[in-house]
Amino acid sequence: MAEQLARDSQYAATVLKTLSNIQRSDALSKIRSGLIKAKDEIICANRLDLELANQSHISSSLIKRLDLSKNGKFDSMCDGIMDVARLEDPLNKITLATELDEGLNLYRVTCPVGVLLIIFESRPEVIANITALAIKSGNAAILKGGKESLNTFKAMAKVINHVLEIETDVPKNAIQLIATRGEVSDLLNQDTYIDLVIPRGSNQLVRSIKDNTKIPVLGHANGICSIYIDEFADIEGKAKRIIVDAKTNYPAGCNAVETLLINEKLLGTEAYKSILESLVSNEVTCHMAPELLRDLPSSLKDKYSKLFVEATERDFHHEFLSLDIAIKTVSDVKQAVEHINRHSSKHTDAIITENEENANIFLNGVDSSGVYWNCSTRFADGFRYGFGTEVGISTNKIHARGPVGLEGLVCYYYQLRGNGQIVGDYLGGGGKKAFIHKHLDTRGMRLK
């Protein structure tokens, strides 16, 4: 069952990869029209999901994320499909061209990865978003949504499959939507057919997937982001605003700051007090390293005693996802870099300083997907980066890192076009001819 499904996806992928950008973008436009036409049915199904959610005492924030009918969410979901359709074609770009010899030309060409298995929780609009990204990038996708949005998911799946089958050149099986959890665990064994798994959801979801598959997984389990306030930071103008934004703008986001490292030279200064005050006055609980907790500015201690607690070692490896932050001092930028390389989850880390040399030590030394200077970690996001949308944020060390847009869903292959050349004629293969290896200009070069 899972094997057949995965095999069907792979076959669809081999057809989809040969379609032109026009054919792929046109399919997205048709899907958008189909969803708009079926709006009533989809909203109806969504209402059923909401009712079931209300009955099962799901948190109100989760219910809010489920609801497609409010604040023009349905329409903006449909518009989002066209935003993706209008993006530049990520396929068939030539990224390297070399004349190996006269009449023997090598091209490195972007191509789809193949078959994606995408597993996400709750928000139903993700279906439209991911469908658009997958088709635009020429990848077949198997989608599994959360059980909370099952009815919405089914209603949308029906429309998408119908449109693909009747109105487009994209094979119907290019997008397959599955409903049960059991199927996922079987699919995670289909490493012959599935090329990449993209989980979007909680730490537990991502970890359990990583532990149960040989297929490469693109994503992040944790977002343990740190900000280092250097001795040369502009505290009032930058540092305070940035840490408050990074912590409070959306504490549940993976790009929210979880650890604050302060240069020890700031200890005992007004600046130090001011930094702490900016956090506690915004109701942030500060998990202070023990030596800092003993030495708190007394005025703060009295006024906000409940918001200062002692940090455990674990707090510095921890993603709070709430109005909590772990705070410690470091002796200099190098120690900050070392702390981050040891404790962070390689998501996004920032330095606040006016000293360019220290900034460069940090930018060059921290080994994370995003390394920032004088701005909030919350900018780590595909939309903010200008990618139109994102399929997730990767903390992997290979393939794609940081917010992953269309470019993270493509890879490349080599085309070699000759007119009868054989290796036996060349040096190293038994012959006497030498290679030319002349690099050709590839700017804006496409295969078709």
Buried b (16+ CB within 10 A) or exposed e, 25-48: bbbbbbbbebbeebeeebeebbee
* Dist. CA 138–CA 111, nearest whole Å: 8
Interaction residues for its own copies, span 54-73 (CB under 8 A): none
337 binds its own copies (CB under 8 A): yes
Query: At its nearest, how many Å lie between its own copies and the CB of residue 103?
Result: 9
Count of residues that interact with its own copies, criterion CB under 8 A? 83
Interaction residues for its own copies, span 25-54 (CB under 8 A): none
Is 354 within 8 Å of 231 (Cβ atoms)?
A: no
Query: At its nearest, how many Å lie between its own copies and the CB of residue 410?
Result: 10
398 binds its own copies (CB under 8 A): yes
Interaction residues for its own copies, span 357-376 (CB under 8 A): 359, 361, 363-365, 367-376
The token pair at 7 is: 């095999």
Query: At its nearest, how many Å lie between its own copies and the CB of residue 34?
Result: 27
411 binds its own copies (CB under 8 A): yes
Distant-in-sequence, close-in-space partners of 108: CB < 8 Å, separation ≥ 6? 94, 95, 96, 97, 412, 413, 414
Query: At its nearest, how many Å lie between its own copies and the CB of residue 306?
Result: 25
Q: What is the DSSP letter of 217?
A: B
Is 111 within 8 Å of 407 (Cβ atoms)?
A: no
The residue (of 55 and 386) whose beta carbon lies closer to its own copies is: 386
* Dist. CA 27–CA 168, nearest whole Å: 5
Interaction residues for its own copies, span 222-251 (CB under 8 A): 234, 237-238, 241-242, 244-246, 249-250
102 binds its own copies (CB under 8 A): no
298 binds its own copies (CB under 8 A): no
Among 48, 166, 267, 423, binds its own copies (CB under 8 A): 423
402 binds its own copies (CB under 8 A): yes
Q: How many CB atoms lie within 10 A of CB 415?
A: 14
The residue (of 298 and 420) whose beta carbon lies closer to its own copies is: 420
Q: What is the DSSP string of 2-20?
A: HHHHHHHHHHHHHHHTTS-
3-state secondary structure of 308: strand
The residue (of 309 and 412) whose beta carbon lies closer to its own copies is: 412
386 binds its own copies (CB under 8 A): yes
